[in-house]
Structure 1
Amino acid sequence: MDASTPNRLSIKKDCFWGGERREISNQNPNPNPNPNPLQSYGGRRRGKGLLVVVVCGWRFFCYLFFGFLLVSCFPPSFVSASPPTAIFGTSPPPINPGRTGGVVVVVVISVSVVVLVSVMAIFGCLRMKARRRAVVEGEGVEVVVAGEGEKGSAAAAVAVRRFSREEVGRLAANFARSRVIAYGGFSTVYLGKFTDSTLAAMKIIDGSSERLQRIFRQELEILLKIRHDNIVKILGFSEDEEQGALVLEYVSNGTLHDKLHSSKTSHLLPWKNRITIAVQLAGALDYLHEHCDLQIVHGDLKAANILLDSRLNCKLCDFGSAKMGFSSTVLPPSSRRMVQMIGSPGYADPHFLRTGIASKKNDIYSYGVILLELITGLEALSPDNNVRLISKVGPVLKDASKVAGMVDRRLAGEYELEEAMAMASLAALCLSDPPSLRPSASDIIQTMKNCVSSVTFPSSTDKML
């Protein structure tokens, strides 16, 4: 799917059973020159209520009509208890008691069916109304989406709330500078706080240009489709002409970049936690690349986009550069200058920069750089002389006997040499040129299972919510 093409979020409803399913389709809205693919998510509560009443009422009267039509097919329609009288001097034929009893049975059964169907229709409408009231409070509107699990399996539906701009402002304390927790290229992240003291990360994206609006819609669409234990979860969103907001789960322990490279960090990241993060990140990539109905390439994998929770579990975030629904895109030389940059300095795949071919292998290259950071404790791009980490340790990767000399000295020997050698060898494969020699995310996981003994490997289904 081309990121430049606006997408429409379509809605499928089943009012009779009381269910509501919202799906994401790749249809292009037409002829609206200024599409708003998120409009169908929010809607106005009054319009939706009217729609429910009209649809359910229409079905109710249809069932009622056909029920009485069925009854009318069996004359006489009603049986009188009084004896029949002559009309125009002609006596009616005698009544057959057996036939009368059969007609009464048919009438009773038909009316019972009509009443049952009518009660089911009313119950479905009331159930839908109750679900809308129960999920959220205030002005938020429920949006039911299905996070994808394994291909061919259904994941549990998750309610995502649409916020008004005023609500977002209140959650972020009117965007006070004291609430800022991070800055991005085109966004600012604020610490949000709900009335029950639950915290959230409020990512505010400038919507002043069509390009930024497209990036926001793209990230929102992807976050609504995915659900994995090692990927940051979306709680809600807000969108208007001036800005977009993503309300995300708050991950309290900073980023992997901070833990490895910041001088303000008081505690050194232990070796076992580093290996655990490598395993979890590989699992998240395997989910995105292989286990979504439409495969997803993250596009900007780096230590700063890996959040850590209180137990040092990783949470992959920032899908603003992600691509969905393709294996690779080959553009002619004249169009390569229009390709959106994939990756950050020190992490970007040189093959993509040379050819303009974007694929899952771009993420695998960046993953190899992160492995080197976990092993060495050095930054992907030196802040002193802008030398890439791969240039520093590349020669060492070719000689396994030298791996011990590249392990982070701050660990003071508290690591497993065999695991370090296996990780270094795996990093070398991920950094291979051409990309065809690089392993897939599932290959990486299998290699780790064979070479790493200090980490427990959960099944992929355990990591999906």
Structure 2
Amino acid sequence: MGFLKCFIGFKIRRRSNRVEIYNQDHDENRNQSTSNGTATNTATDDSSKTNNRLEPIDGQKRNIDGVGVIRKFSWDEVERLTKNFSKVIGSGGFSTVYLAHFQGFEIELGAIKVHIGSERLNQLFKQERDILLRLRHQHIVKLLGYCDDGEQGAMVFEYVPNGSLQEKLHGGGCGGMAEEDAKSKRKSLPVLSWRGRMTIAFQLAQAIEYLHEKCSPQIVHGDIKASNILLDHHLNCKLCDFGFSKMGFSSTILPPSSSSPAYSSRRKQVMMGSPGYTDPHYLRTGLASKKNDIYSYGVVVLELVTGMEAFCSERGQFLTSIVGPTLLTRDVADMVDPRLGGDYDMEEARVMLSISALCLGHSPTLRPSATHILQTIKDKISSTSFLFSPSPDKDKFGQLMIRDS
């Protein structure tokens, strides 16, 4: 599924702005899956472009997210779509996300991520763009297009309307709030049901398995956390933010110590991960691998089960430090989110805590793969069984995921 297919481009003119359209599905034979499920990625150069006209059809809306189509936008288009960057819907250390309006298209809303224009961040933009061009999975946020005019960089994504898992579980976090105020805020939130939590855990594992096992080269996400897990209309999981991602089984991002000039230049690179989610082994060695993502997944599972944050700046504590030492010995009922009011399956909670413990293990080689995690959930978490068979709930399970508090 995930791929950088053979691109063929054609130009269109819309008013005075130029938009290039690249078709990823030009040659299906270039991206056939191998017997082990790994996709072969191939790209062509600009010589494959052909000129064509795409005119509006009266009374019909145009499709901005046709299968396999990635559009290249001009900066004027980005300004118009965001209404001159009028509404911020997200922000990070290196970018800001704006709401986009696609007038005359089947999709009305999108999200445009604009990168800050320094040389280093421009490289991060290109790296993230190149990785996203390879990906197509139902539980990874969809790239619709991008702009790389001059020093400015922007990526256009599908709009995911239900915010992030961070917001659903924690109400945006406790930063800047007194602990009691943060607790009060969380209690006032609609409660994400046990079934919904287990479904998100399964879908996130599917996205990770896709990156680790079904992309070629394999991809390490590098920053799996609750705020990078978006939820759609039905609260399906959509993994986003590939700014820290790396291609290949493993690579040294920042060695622990060295006096070489190469190390000095490497120190300028951005460290992967976020507080509370980052693999301690990576922090010690600088070796980025798939097992870093598995560690982060274990933290997310712990959040889903306990309802606690991975890291709260006001308390200055990691969830793994609070819960980790007693993860397998403490009574399960004492660890499950009390907001569920007992509306959960005790054995499933025990299984998920065991999965989390394995993911958080000190030795990366002993951590399970995403494939093994998926199989365990399939075998032992009956709350997700509706995902594997035709069911009227399957397409609208979001309606069942929020319970009355």
Report the TM-score, using the length of structure 1 for normalisation: 0.66
Tell which deviates more after alignment, 354-363 or 257-266. Answer: 257-266
C-alpha distance in structure 2 between counterparts of 1:326 and 1:361, whole Å = 10
Corresponding letter in the other structure for 2:195: K
Q: Deviations over 1:119-172 (max 9, x none)?
A: xxxxxxxxxxxxx79x9x963111122597631579996111111111110110
1:210-256 Cα distance to aligned partner (Å, 9 max, x none): 11011000111111111000000011111122321100000000000
Structure 2 residue 251 is matched with structure 1 residue 372: no
- Kindly indicate whether the alpha-carbon contact (under 8 Å) linking 2:17 and 2:74 is maintained by their aligned counterparts in 1: no
Match of 2:202 in 1: 279
Query: Which residue among 409, 422, 442 is the counterpart of 2:338?
Result: 409
Matches of 1:144 and 1:458, distance apart in 2: 32
Q: Give the Cα separation in 1 of the matches to 2:214 and 2:138.
A: 14
8 Å contact 2:220–2:245 — kept in the other structure?
yes
Question: 2:93 aligned with 1:185, yes or no?
Answer: yes
Residue 20 of structure 2 corresponds to residue 21 of structure 1? no
Q: Distance in 2 between matches of 1:173 and 1:315?
A: 26
For residues 302 and 22 of structure 1, the distance between their equivalents in structure 2, rounded to whole angstroms, comes to 32
Q: Secondary structure at the match of 1:160?
A: strand
In structure 2, the partner of 1:314 is 237
Q: Report the equivalent of 1:268.
A: 191
In 1, are the aligned partners of 2:254 and 2:267 still within 8 Å (CA)? no
1:141 paired residue among 14, 17, 20: 20
SS at match of 1:225: coil
Residue in structure 2 matched with residue 74 of structure 1 by the alignment: none
Say whether 1:427 aligns with 2:356. yes
How far off is 1:21 after superposition? 3.1
Aligned AA for 2:252? Answer: T
> Is residue 445 of structure 1 aligned with residue 374 of structure 2?
yes
Report the equivalent of 1:323.
246
Q: Does 1:391 align with 2:321?
A: yes
Aligned equivalent of 2:152 = 243
Query: Which residue of 209, 219, 235 corresponds with 1:296?
Result: 219
Displacement of 1:383 in angstroms is 3.2
CA RMSD of aligned residues (A): 2.9
1:231 aligns with 2:154: no
SS of equivalent to 2:153: strand
> Is 2:41–2:216's contact at 8 Å kept on the other side of the alignment?
no
Contact 2:40 2:216 in 1 (8 A): no
Aligned-pair CA distance for 1:330: 7.7
CA distance in 1, matches of 2:76, 2:197: 41
State the secondary structure of the residue aligned to 1:404: helix
- What's 2:396 paired with? none
Q: How far apart are residue 285 of structure 1 and its match?
A: 0.2
Q: Is the 8 A contact 1:396 1:402 kept in 2?
A: no
- Alpha-carbon offset, residue 307 of structure 1: 0.2
TM-aligned CA distance change 1:411 to 1:331, over 3 Å:
closer
**Cα deviations across residues 298-339 of structure 1 (Å, max 9, x unaligned)?**
001100000001111010000000001233438653127455
Flag structure 1 segments of 5+ consecutive residues without an equivalent: 1-9, 11-19, 24-40, 46-131, 460-465
Q: CA deviation at 1:266?
A: 3.7
Q: What is the identity percentage for the equivalent residue pairs of Structure 1 and Structure 2?
A: 53
Give CA-to-partner distance per residue, 1:323-380, whole Å, 9 cap, x none.
0123343865312745531110000111110111110000000000000000010000
Q: Matched residues in 1 for 2:249 and 2:377: separation?
A: 27
State which of 166, 169, 194 in structure 1 corresponds to 2:76: 166
Kindly indicate whether residue 384 of structure 2 is the aligned counterpart of residue 455 of structure 1: yes
In 1, the alpha carbon distance for the partners of 2:334 and 2:303 equals: 14
Cα distance in 1 between the residues matched to 2:89 and 2:21 = 28
Corresponding residue to 1:340 among 259, 264, 270: 270
Q: 3-state DSSP class of the match of 2:7?
A: strand
Superposed, which structure 2 residues align to 1:80-95 within 5 Å?
none
Does the CA contact (< 8 Å) of 1:187 and 1:203 recur in 2? yes
C-alpha distance in structure 2 between counterparts of 1:354 and 1:154, whole Å: 33
Residue 378 of structure 1 contacts residue 389 of structure 1 at CA under 8 Å; is this kept in 2?
yes
Q: Which runs of 5+ in 2 are unaligned?
A: 43-65, 172-184, 390-405
Cα–Cα, structure 1 residues 391 and 21, in superposed 2: closer, same or farther, change >3 Å?
Answer: closer
In 1, the alpha carbon distance for the partners of 2:120 and 2:67 equals 30
For the 8 Å contact 2:249–2:290, the answer to whether it is kept is no
Aligned to 1:256: 165
Distance in 2 of aligned mates of 1:276 and 1:144: 33
Query: Secondary structure of the residue that 2:382 maps to in structure 1?
Result: coil
Question: 1:339, 1:356 within 8 Å by CA — same for their partners in 2?
Answer: no
Which amino acid is 2:103 matched to? T
Give the structure with the larger helix fraction: 1
1:371-422: CA deviation from partner (whole Å, max 9, x where unpaired): 00000100001232211101111233121x6121010000000000000000
Aligned residues: 332
Opposite residue 165 of structure 1, the aligned amino acid is: W
2:38 paired residue among 151, 157, 171: 151
How far apart are the structure 1 equivalents of 2:298 and 2:139?
Answer: 18
Deviation at 1:452, TM superposition (A): 0.4
Secondary structure at the counterpart of residue 18 of structure 2 = coil
Q: Are the equivalent residues in 1 in contact too, given 2:305–2:349 (CA < 8 A)?
A: yes
* Greater relative contact order, per chain length (Cα 8 Å cut-off, separation 6+): 2
Return the alpha-carbon distance in structure 1 between the equivalents of residues 91 and 253 of structure 2: 32
Aligned to 2:174: none
CA offsets 1:272-292 (integer angstroms, 9 cap, x no match): 000000000000000000001
